[in-house]
Amino acid sequence: MTDIRTLVLDGQKVRVALFGPADASRNLLVFNGIGASLETVGPFAERFADTRIVTFDVPGVGGSPVPALPYRFTWLARLTARILDKLGIDQVDVFGVSWGGAAAQQFARDYPHRALSLTLAATSAGFVMVPGNLRVMLKMATPKRYSDPQHMLKIGPDIYGGQMRANPQLLREHAATLKSGSGRGYLYQLLAGAGWTSWLWLPQLRLPVLVMMGEDDPIVPLANGRILVNRLPNARLEVMDCGHLFILTDPAETAAKVEAFIQSTPVAEIA
3-state secondary structure 179-219: CCCCHHHHHHHHHHHCCCECCCCHHHCCCCEEEEEECCCCC
What is the torsional sign of CA 150, 155, 159, 160? positive
Q: For residue 120, which of 217, 3, 24, 192 has the smallest C-alpha distance?
A: 217
pLDDT of residue 271: 45
- The segments of the chain whose pLDDT lies below 70 read 178-181, 268-271
pLDDT at 164: 82
> Where in the sequence numbering do the catalytic residues fall?
98
CB distance 225 to 251 below 8 Å:
no
Residue spans of alpha helices (H) in 46-148: 73-87, 99-110, 134-139, 144-147
Cα–Cα distance, 242 to 195 (Å, whole number):
28
According to DSSP, residue 47 is labeled T
Q: Report the pLDDT value the prediction gives residue 165, as an integer from 0 to 100.
A: 82
* CATH level 3 topology of 3-133+182-264: Rossmann fold (3.40.50)
- pLDDT attached to residue 178: 67
CA-based nearest residue to 126, from 108, 102, 159:
102
pLDDT of residue 170: 81
